Structure 1
Amino acid sequence: MEAGDNRPPITIPPSGNAKHSLLDSYAFVPAVALKTTAVAVPECSVSEVTSCLDEAITQERRWIEDALPHLETKLTCGDAIA
């Protein structure tokens, strides 16, 4: 199948007394363990996130200030609010 091709619908057998189960390769997950007890977590500064958020809020406010005058007039399909 190619991208964009219609695919047939997925059908599930009718419910009844039959039980559906996964194959063992899907149903059983082997246990795992770490071979080390050392954990390295990088330090992070909250101020970095705040500065990015401030810039995003500023850009959004600029967009709103530019868009509001366009909404007072009738828009056509060729108009763009940028």
Structure 2
Amino acid sequence: MNASARRSDAAQNRTRIVEAARAALTESRHVHFNEIAKRAGVGQGTLYRHFPNREALLAEVYRRDVEELVTAAPRSAGGT
């Protein structure tokens, strides 16, 4: 596997982890890392390579939520 394919796989894994965390957090605030890894279809080592602790993962989930809100705000307000 070449370097760009590895980077692409890593980016896909990161996206799946964040999406799995977001889904799990809508169900419960007390979700465990191993549950998020299972939902994302990755091992715990992969999860920890991307997010060394729970706070880092939560910060990324919330960062993406805020980013989506900022992007959607002009449309919601009748802008472009």
Name the TM-score, length of structure 1 as normaliser: 0.31
Larger Rg: 1 or 2?
1
Q: Which has the higher helix share?
A: 2
Relative contact order higher in (CA < 8 Å, ≥ 6 apart): 2
Name the TM-score, length of structure 2 as normaliser: 0.32
